[in-house]
A and B are shown apart, each in its own frame.
Chain A
Amino acid sequence: MKPLASVEELNNLRDQALNKLAEREENIQVKVHLGTCGISSGATKVLDAFLQEVVARKIYDVVVLQAACIGLCGVEPVVTVIKPGQNKVIYIEVTEDKVPRIVEEHLVRGKVIQEWVLDENDPLLKLQEIRVMHNQDLNPMNIDEYIARGGYQALAKALSQMSPEEVIEEISKSGLRGRGGAGFPTARKWGFVRGAPGDEKYVVCNGDEGDPGAYMNRAVLEGNPHSIIEGMAIGAYAIGNVRQGYTYLRAEYPLAIKTLSHAIAQARGYGLLGKSILGTDFEFSLDIFPGAGAFVCGEETALLGSIEGKRGNPRQRPPFPAVKGLFGKPTTLNNVETWSDVPQIILRGADWFASVGTEKSKGTKTLCLVGKINNTGLVEVPLGTPLGEIVFDIGGGIPDGKKYKAVQIGGPSGGVIPIEHINTPVDYEAVTALGAIMGSGGLVVMDEDSCMVDVAKYFLQFTRDESCGKCVPCRAGIPAMLEILSRISRGEGKMEDLDTLEELGEMVVSAALCGLGQTSPNPVLTTIRHFREEYEAHIIDKRCPAAVCQALFRAPCQHTCPVGLDVPGYVSLIKDGNFIESYCLIKQRNPFPSICGRVCHHPCEAKCQRGQVDEPVAIRDLKRFAADYAFELGIDYNPPVKERREEKVAIIGAGPAGLSAAWDLALEGYQVTVFEALPVAGGMLAVGIPEYRLPKDILKREVESVTRLGVRLRLNTRIDDIESLLEDGYRAVFIATGAHKGDKMGIPGEDLAGIYDAIDFLRQVNLGKKVKIGRKVAIVGGGNSAVDAARVALRKGAKEVHIFYRREKKDMPAMAEEIEDTEKEGVQFHFLTTPTRLLGDNGKVKGIECIRMELKEFDRSGRKTPYPIEGSEYVVDVDTVIEAIGQRPDTSFIKDGEIQVGRGGTVFTDPRTLATSRNGIFAGGDAATGPATVIEAIAAGQRAASSIRRYLEGKELSPLVERDGYKPIGISSVPPTDEETRERARVRAAEIALPDRGSSFKEVVLSYSPEEAREEASRCLRCDLEVQ
């Protein structure tokens, strides 16, 4: 290596290097990406395997190269194959054993192995704007490749054509702001230091990237080290009187240190660092200073102190480093990415840089996507890109169909941004406005399984451990907040704790010495701000909705079950063959095991820890098995009724809420009467759910189990006057009338004949009434009643059934297994369409006009909002239309002012006690919440029963439902064996074959055999034992 004495020599070198690259491009290039992420996934072995394979097979037109991380960190090792004149192909998750086939099929025979390739149209790749990361496909250990790509041209341009002031002006015009997180305008910082008196100044690169889940700087350090060197040299020139720079790198990045050291040595070799750079009188040296593992050293004053050899404690500003920095001299400190942005701005111009981004935040930003997201890795997007686009489009959304909850941005100093703000543009101002900070760019995605109290705790633990301990607010304030949070997560919190946390957090934000302390309360403050209800659940209900805070429960499944069923207990009993005891245990808490065993939406399974190994335990199917097994033997167990009480209680509605309240109150000894307007008991279970999912006799036997306790059931009795019930001596009333009124679409033609609403339609069918159904049926909607109506229509003789849904399949609210079955049975889905009008002939419907929809911004549910595409209308000929777009309670029987009723007909209640605005009257289930699930209705019934009991006993109502401590016999305390925990799929319950379904309403899914049940039960990991 010979020092380059002029810009001309640099240009010559560039031309030579370009030629070399061009020569190389005439061959097939295989690039193995050797970032830390790649190496840790075995990329070095893959590189060796390619070399061996190519050599062994004597393939001469292939060059095997190393390159840097291109951001696909979640699917490493990654290999790019480029054939001359063809698009590049990216192989993901390449292991050594895949190499021979890639060589054989792709390199030799020219056939891309599609199943191993990342589609180049993948939004992950397409939606990014690669600038900082534009050299990641090069070999970072070779300066010539960087020079070939125009490397050091910016430095040459600055030195030969620009005055220092012009350089600062150009940076200023570009709008570049500090990428370390605070977003301070870079040119202004440079200007301060340039203007500060002193003939000895420093530039420093902050590479102490320490946020959990953030590694974008590492990728640049490892992949594009020369851009940092060049940027710093340009900065040194612009600032003036700078002869020495330092890069402070965290010691945990050994590869980055190695790569950058190597790059510095090469730059020195070419005289791009050192004295008289490119023949000018500009002099600049650069050294690496490895940190020692303190997070706080990312704070600029602590970092400078650390370089000076002192304890890495921040110091109070002013004086600012621009005035008094490293060794007391004026110092500019910028983040890795900021420095890396500089050469391109100088070379390609401020306008080019500012061509993307927002008004105040220009250019691109590298971000790390981690947590509950499909595409884990590194992305680069223009500032201002909506958060939802990053998470859902580029990031591929949430794995396992779970619900997005929030994103933590900016590491432990940042905050949590909830779903409501999913459309927030990711730029400095917008993010700060939500109480978070941009930070260095780590995005930790959280789903429904993340507990916000726990998240706040996690980040506080981090900042507690990393606080330097100098100032009191940070050192003592964080542990105090953490202790309060721990108390809350143990269920020992008080509502005042939230005020204390907010008050304390505000003080720490205002009074702590440095950025670490000042931002440390952000995770607490933002989670309280955006997820207050989760805190309240921990404090008031002693519940962790995400089933994370272990002190509050035995097992996540049990904790998630609205009625708190002892799932580990009954599953364990089934495993040991104690089927009857298992059934009795279920019936301690749930009067309807057979029903729930069939139609429960099983939130327990979503939280089952087995799901993280392979698939959740089939908790619902096991419950059904236990209940069916007992039924076969003629066993109907109910817990013993307590002492008889004379008080009369009236329940309006014999749905799951009403009946479960009746059951609980009857067990307590009260005299309960249930009034039901319909001729059958069961509410939606009877008239909403089709028989093939829930056979009538099953429903009947569980209703009878309730009446056997002495509950009086008065069918065909519609209550129009609550007052009269009280006059009749009922001491308390529970309104559980469900939500049986279908919503209308509000489009022209809805009054035509042949149009039903799904609720009405299903009720008619279930009550055995004659329903006229045509040949071609259109269903509008995407919920459970839509798919139920579709399948019932098929069974009622429809030849063609179409479902029109305005969003995409993944957005459908119906249960996944139901959608699957519906598809299997031949129902046709029309996604992204919505009806605009119904066409008729002679007063009878004959067609449905639809319009296609396109998805735009995200709504509060985390789904994109559909908008009609003008002019895309089309007509489908149908003779029946079933509207299944929603349903609501019909509470018209409540007289004005008698009880407070909310919009949409729901009875206004305290959700924790179910008390209405009137003493002694309670309401719950769908009537109070709008359409919900069976198990939630059962839970509401139990909650109402608990409140009614306390009311009748003259006690204060409580949000906590008291449960008797039933001690089942014979639950094993032996943890599962290794054999039992090994990966294996769940046991599938048998279904009747498709051809046998036809017009039959026979139950589709069958029960487990005892062997199957025991086998499935043995998959339970028994989290309850671990917790205890």
Chain B
Amino acid sequence: MKEITLTVNDKQLSGKEGSTVLEICQANGIDVPTLCHLDGLSDVGACRMCVVEIEGERKPVPSCTYPARDGLVVKTDTERLEKYRRQILELMFAERNHFCMFCEQSGDCELQKLAYRYQMDNVRYPYQFPSQTMDALSDYLVIEHNRCVLCGRCVRVCSEIAANYALDFSGRGVKTLVSADLAQPVSESTCTTCGACVQACPTGAIFSKLSLYRGITDECQRITTVCPGCAVGCQLDVLVKDNNIVRIEAPELSGIKGPLCKEGRFELLRETRPRLTSPLVRGKQGELEECGWDRAMEIIAGKVNGSKDSFAGMISSRLPNETLSIFNRFINEAVGSGLLDTLDGDICRVISEGIKRFQNNGNGLAIECPIEEILDADCILIVGADPKNTNPIIGNLVQRARRQKGAKLIVVDPSRNVFPLWTDLWLKPKAGSEGALLAGLGKALVDKGLLILEKAGTELIQSLKKYDMVKVCSETGIDKGRLEMAAEMYGQAAHGVIIYGEGLLNSEDPSLITCILNLAALTGNVEGESLRVISLKPGANSRGAWELGLAKRGVERNGLKGLYLLLGDDQVNDGLIDRLKGIGFLVVQASYQSPVTAMADVVLPSPIWAEREGKYVSMDGNELEIRRALKPREGMLQDQEILVKLSKKLGRELITS
């Protein structure tokens, strides 16, 4: 980009060609007031606060949309402009019902700040006093039209960043309203409650019910950490006041993982499970009773010592590397049984095996591409996955590629069309026939000449060529034409990305994964050492656990005399309860009471996500730092400390760095 020079307020400023006047002003410390502008969103010039005078222009122009040129002469602070800005502010205040003293956002409001800046102590224009409704039906957020300045930041963030297009304007002129879908309550609309609009809103028009009156930004400490919700690894800014979380927001709204999701932004604040605060042991009546750490540990140590070889460990992959690593050593060294698995170990092993069969050298998960690749895709093939629900940011990236860049979208799933409005082609194989379908896809690609044959082993090609399409069709129940259409869409794509997930992984058939990897490799969707394939892993730190070797093999339940479950703040499901039934001695280290803790013989309290620190590895291999946002409660120990102490009791000193 060319360097250009312009004169702003009689000062020479330089900047890059292609920037707007506003960007150059801001980069050079010239404070031009804005309201509808938000970094990372397109600029629309709606609020007119940033108007500047430019030599040669008949009228003031909004600096946020005006392309900077070499030699421009700009004034940002003339008397006329300042007068206009004040008038515009007054109009905004007169237009709806902005009564700061009743507003939750008072003190945190850009409109209010501008009013202070322009010393707007009265409004000279007639108040319109409209009676707008308030949409407060959602459990998460409120749209209060009376405080809306129609800057459109929510609309743009919903479409440009969240790629959800749920919000738009309805009506026109003074009757314009921000509406969800066809003016439905936001809770009944296609809104995914990612909450990006809450963060984008400059006033109190869209606010979170979960953060109401908890505090304003200036009173908060901001801690950047990583979301424990899924394996995408979104960064969270946790705003804390008095050791309470006020709210969670994205550090960078316009980043790849910018919008966050309902889980990360809201659900983490909506925790209702009863917290465990002290160790519990089963008393004489068989009831769990509080006891001291020492006693709890002694009981555990006693049991472990009696059955070392058949005492296993299971751990949630929501826990950071440091905890996983200590647990690994605890089982291997202190307990000594080596019986160790993660809760999602089965799935890891299917992926792992599938990859191993594809490439003998075993580069492992490095074969997968970064999730950013989705944004550049021109065709996305989703196999047995529901990213919108399991990993909303992946769903968001798919929608952005599909809706903003025109990527083709193919869904392979026996029962669900996971992007019902946007899927170009939904292949609906009979349950269990995914393998046949993938092979059929390969066959169609060969037939159409869309495979790069030199890269494939002749054996594979031959086997594919011999493949009977009629059989594929009858087995999968899919029309040949549709299969060929999918082959063409994916095969002709310059940048095809395959996403697969639990729908495929639950089949426990690694050959499906091998098949997918082959499709990607043979259609040339290769980026250096990796393929444009992404597997959706279940836990926030599944990949970390995998790389640490915690899930190499499963733990056979039969014959176990005891099991140490480090659950942390993870959720409990029926599968887990089943797996724990009939175990002789059960230790559960968890943050919350649950059916699992109810089954335990000893329960140890564990910190929650915000009280932990350490590292995660995201699903695409980035190491991310978790920072402690909340001070742990008194008397609580970090997971690692518990394991170290317990090891000591077992006579093993685990040195931690």
Contacts and interface: CB of A to CB of B under 8 A. Distances in A.
Interface of A: 294, 296, 311, 313, 315-316, 318-319, 464-473, 475-480, 483-484, 487, 500, 503-504, 507, 509-513, 518
CB-CB nearest 3 A-B residue pairs = A469-B176, A316-B45, A467-B173
B223 interface: no
Given A316-B65, A511-B59, A511-B84, A294 B172 contact: yes
A468 B173 contact: yes
Contacts of A473: 48, 88, 91
Interface of B: 43-48, 51, 59-62, 65-67, 83-84, 87-88, 91-92, 94-95, 124-126, 128, 149-150, 152, 168-169, 171-176
Given A472-B48, A476-B91, A511 B60 contact: yes
Contacts of A468: 172-173, 176
A524 to B, nearest CB: 14
Contacts of A313: 169
Contact of A471 (B46, B124, B125): B46
Which of B47, B94, B126, B173 has the most C-beta atoms of chain A within 10 angstroms of its own C-beta? B173
Contacts of A465: 172-173
A315 B91 contact: no
Which of B83, B91, B128 gathers the greatest number of chain A CB atoms within 10 Å?
Answer: B91
Contact of B124 (A315, A475, A500, A510): A500
Nearest to B59: A510
A479 B174 contact: yes
Greatest chain A CB density within 10 A among B150, B152, B174 is at: B174
Contacts of B128: 476, 479-480, 483
B67 A318 contact: yes
B59 A475 contact: no
A159 B344 CA distance: 73
A472 B47 contact: yes
B172 A507 contact: no
A507 B44 contact: no
A479 B66 CA distance: 28
Nearest to B67: A318
B123 to A, nearest CB: 9
11 contacts: A466-B172, A467-B173, A470-B44, A471-B46, A472-B48, A472-B91, A472-B149, A476-B95, A510-B84, A511-B51, A513-B46
Contacts of A316: 43-45, 61-62, 65
A475 B88 contact: no
A635 B8 CA distance: 85
Contact of A469 (B62, B83, B172): B172
Given A466-B173, A469-B175, A484-B126, A504 B87 contact: yes
Contacts of A467: 172-174
B455 to A, nearest CB: 36
Contacts of B66: 318
Contacts of A469: 150, 169, 171-176
A480 B95 CA distance: 8
A892 B59 CA distance: 56
Given A316-B65, A475-B174, A476-B95, A503 B60 contact: no
A45 B176 CA distance: 44
B174 A471 contact: no
Contacts of A518: 59
Given A316-B45, A469-B150, A476-B91, A510 B172 contact: no
A509 B60 CA distance: 10
Contacts of A483: 125-126, 128
Contacts of B88: 472-473, 507, 511
A471 B45 contact: yes
Given A316-B45, A469-B175, A513-B48, A475 B95 contact: yes
B149 to A, nearest CB: 7
Contacts of A318: 65-67
Nearest to B49: A472
A519 to B, nearest CB: 12
B174 A511 contact: no
Contact of B87 (A471, A479, A503, A509): A503
A316 B51 CA distance: 12
Contacts of B173: 464-469, 475, 478
B531 to A, nearest CB: 34
Contacts of A470: 44, 46, 150, 152, 176
Given A473-B48, A476-B174, 10 more contacts: A466-B173, A467-B173, A472-B150, A473-B88, A475-B176, A483-B126, A487-B126, A503-B87, A507-B87, A513-B62
A311 B155 CA distance: 12
Contacts of A479: 95, 128, 174
A473 B62 CA distance: 13
Nearest to A514: B45
**Counting chain B CB atoms within 10 Å of each CB, which of A311, A313, A470, A503 scores highest?**
A470
Contacts of A296: 172
A475 B96 CA distance: 12
Nearest to A310: B168
A480 B60 contact: no
A655 B47 CA distance: 63
B125 A500 contact: yes
A476 B94 contact: yes
B47 A471 contact: yes
Nearest to B91: A476
A296 B169 CA distance: 15
B48 A480 contact: no
B45 A513 contact: yes
Contacts of B67: 318-319
A476 B47 CA distance: 11
A311 B44 CA distance: 14
A467 B171 CA distance: 10
A466 B84 CA distance: 23
B387 to A, nearest CB: 27
Given A471-B48, A479-B95, A510 B125 contact: no
A294 B175 CA distance: 14
A511 B48 CA distance: 7
Given A467-B172, A472-B149, A511-B88, A315 B47 contact: no
Given A475-B176, A511-B84, A480 B91 contact: yes
B92 A472 contact: yes
Contacts of B175: 469
Q: Which of A476, A477, A484 has the most CB of B within 10 A?
A: A476
Nearest to A468: B172
Given A294-B172, A316-B45, A465-B173, A477 B91 contact: yes
Contacts of B168: 311
A319 B60 CA distance: 16
A468 B170 CA distance: 10
Contacts of A476: 91-92, 94-95, 128, 174
A480 B150 contact: no
Nearest to A477: B91
A512 B168 CA distance: 21
Contacts of A480: 91, 94-95, 125-126, 128
A487 B125 CA distance: 12
Contacts of B126: 480, 483-484, 487
Contacts of B46: 470-472, 513
Nearest to A466: B173
Nearest to A517: B48
Contacts of A319: 67
A179 to B, nearest CB: 22
A386 to B, nearest CB: 28
Contacts of A512: 48
A318 B125 CA distance: 31
Give the interface centre of B51, B59, B172 by most chain A CB atoms within 10 Å. Answer: B172
A731 B171 CA distance: 66
A469 B47 CA distance: 11
Contacts of B124: 500
A507 B169 CA distance: 25
Contacts of B95: 472, 475-476, 479-480
A316 B83 CA distance: 22
